Amino acid sequence: MSADTAVQPKIKIESVCKSYVIGGEREDVLTGVDMTVHAGEFVSIIGPSGCGKSTLLNIIAGLDRPDSGSVELFGDTTSDTKGRLGQTGYMQQKDLLLPWRSVLDNTILGLELKGVPRRQAREQALEFTEAFGLKGFEDQYPFALSGGMRQRASFLRTMLMNQDVVLLDEPFGALDALTRIQMQEWLLQLWESLNKTIVLITHDVDEALLLSDRVYLLSARPGQVTMVLDVPLPRPRRYNMVTSPEFSVFKAQLMEPLWSQIVGTQPGSASGTHTGRI
Amino acid sequence: MRLSNRFAGLSTWLLPISILVGLLAAWELWVQLGDVPRWQLPAPSAIAQELGSSRSLLWDHTLVTLEEIVVGFIAALAAGLILAAGIAYSRVLERSVYPIVIASQTVPIIAIAPLLLIWVGYGLTPKIIIVALICFYPIAVNTVDGLKAIDPDMVNMLRTLGASRWQVFTKLQVPTALPFMFSGIKIGVSVSVIAAVIGEWVGASEGLGYLITYSQPLFLTERVFAAIFLLSIMGIALFVLAVVAERMMMPWYFNEKRSRSLNQL
């Protein structure tokens, strides 16, 4: 790879390790994780619960400091953990909307923190409320919204920061199956029009394959990359692709190691049937 | 649904009011039929009469007590909020000052009142100080609790949006603390009237508390009752004012509560 900045990866993670003290004992959460994400790529991280996926995003976003290893954002080797704060768009699992702000004022929170005047920030946000399915609900308080809407409001707050790199931690995890499919379809279209670099954490094999250019499979704790799967399915992609034969081939490739892991860690569940979710 | 709601709203007022009217009527009958002497227990009608005939005297003293309460309360509010903010913002202040604030509550403020007369004399100042000292504690402690009751995930969310420590304080901690602060304010307002009366009892030449201590040896019992009535009205009015301010500053809080309770029906 040349040193040219044009092909410089947006995110480059090398042998990142992280451990926490849990119940008085030090436990490794991530052991030697490598990952590279280039401009405009959609990358998913999939793995069993507690494998350190969220920790990995926290490290990229600058909320957590790795014990060892290096994290480069935009090719910048000099910035430390704190220097990465505010450099990425990070949407966490919970929508984390402030209950005292209207939907519109929640979405402009990041702009407001950057010093953009409220009126101007609101105008900016209003241009997107339709695309994010929030039109007509701008002045409502979050408690009055459905789960999907709250999630989209949280997503708009993240996207209005206009960061090149967007980190999504199970954004659809709390939604019911049908709403989740709607949101995946919606995210696909949005991403295709916005040209962002996205890292998505998910539990859902279909979701990972449908959305991503590449899927990283993490092992159960301590988290390690056990498989990197390229998904060269044609774009634009639509949800009905999940039933296509090509899709099934990728799914089988991903399910195989995933399944052996689940069976390996939970002996009692060996007789269970294959499902798309873990 | 609507009708039953309206009935529920009406009955919440109707019930306590009818009990109150019933009690007053019983009191009136007791005094009239039992021929209780006026200096011992005046009838409600006699107290009402006193409220009318001595209105300018009562009004003058009411204004004095009201001033003590309002100034003292505002001082307590300002000091309480500043100190709470300092304690929530700085570890050092939390470790050094907060224990002292809590320990200070064990000092009986009523016992300090005579000292204040020695230090600052008989004017309004000692009463204002007593009101402030008594109102300060609930406001400060509740606000500190509120400022610390933040969701760590919210803090992280703000940090990833690039928020500074100060922005986390103003955008998250302060709004989180508002309901707690108003709890403190409502407690403070309720005890402020008591504080002013205590301050006047220790030594004063005006105010409703003074009027009570002055009228009692003269057996002007209906005037004592009139003063007590005005003090309660003042307390209720201040409390209502606090509730109105609370609703105006936190519309989201009450909308949310209302929609939750409606959903439960």
What's the pLDDT tens digit per position in A177-223?
888 888 888 888 888 888 889 999 998 899 999 999 999 999 888 88
Asked if omega into B138 is within 30° of 0 (cis), the reply is: no
Mean pLDDT taken over chain B: 91
Task: Return the residue of A nearest to B173 by Cα.
Answer: A98
> pLDDT category, A244, cuts 50, 70, 90?
very high
Interface test with chain B among A98, A106, A116, A160, by most B beta carbons within 10 Å: A98
CATH superfamily of A1-88+165-236: P-loop containing nucleotide triphosphate hydrolases (3.40.50.300)
Is residue A70 a contact partner of residue A121, using CB atoms and an 8 Å limit?
no
In a domain, B18, yes or no: no
Tens digits of residue pLDDT in A64-82: 999 998 898 888 776 788 8
pLDDT over 70 at B210, yes or no: yes
Mean pLDDT, range B183-190, rounded to an integer? 96
In a domain, B70, yes or no: yes
The secondary structure of residue A88, as a DSSP letter, is S
Tens digits of residue pLDDT in B233-261: 999 999 999 999 999 999 888 877 777 66
Tell whether B248 lies on the interface with A, counting CB pairs under 8 A: no
Tell whether B174 lies on the interface with A, counting CB pairs under 8 A: no
In a domain, B165, yes or no: yes
- At residue A272, the pLDDT reads 42
In a domain, B160, yes or no: yes
Q: Which domain holds residue B213?
A: 54-264
- At residue A274, the pLDDT reads 45
Contact A85/B171, CB-based, under 8 Å? no
CATH number at residue B67: 1.10.3720.10
Place of tokens 């009142």: B113
State how far the Cα of B116 lies from the Cα of B125, in Å rounded to an integer: 9
Q: Which of A31-35, A56-60, A104-108, A271-275 has the lowest mean pLDDT?
A: A271-275
In a domain, B39, yes or no: no
pLDDT over 50 at A276, yes or no: no
Q: Which of A5-9, A28-32, B153-157 has the lowest mean pLDDT?
A: A5-9
In a domain, B195, yes or no: yes
Show me where the domains of chain A are located. 1-88+165-236, 95-162
Tens digits of residue pLDDT in B15-41: 889 999 999 999 999 999 998 998 899
Task: Return the residue of B nearest to A113 by Cα.
Answer: B163
Nearest CA-CA distance, residue A100 and chain B, Å: 5
pLDDT over 90 at A34, yes or no: yes
Q: Which of A98-102, A252-256, B82-86 has the lowest mean pLDDT?
A: A252-256
Tell whether B255 lies on the interface with A, counting CB pairs under 8 A: yes
Task: Return the residue of A nearest to B178 by Cα.
Answer: A100
Count chain A–chain B contacts defined by CB atoms under 8 A: 65
Question: Could you tell me which of B135, B144, B126, B31 has the C-alpha nearest to residue B87?
Answer: B144
Tens digits of residue pLDDT in A14-28: 999 999 888 888 888
State how far the Cα of A259 lies from the Cα of A255, in Å rounded to an integer: 6
- At residue B203, the pLDDT reads 86
In a domain, B198, yes or no: yes
Q: Express as a percent the part of chain A with pLDDT over 70.
A: 92
Tens digits of residue pLDDT in A80-89: 888 888 889 9
Contact B159/A92, CB-based, under 8 Å? no
Q: Flag whether the ipTM exceeds 0.90.
A: no
pLDDT over 90 at B64, yes or no: yes
CA distances from A196 to A159, A167, B38, B133 (A): 10, 10, 86, 58
- At residue B262, the pLDDT reads 60
pLDDT over 50 at A107, yes or no: yes
In a domain, B28, yes or no: no
> pLDDT category, A238, cuts 50, 70, 90?
confident
Domain count, chain B: 1
In total, chain B counts a number of residues equal to 265
Mean pLDDT, range B93-106, rounded to an integer? 89
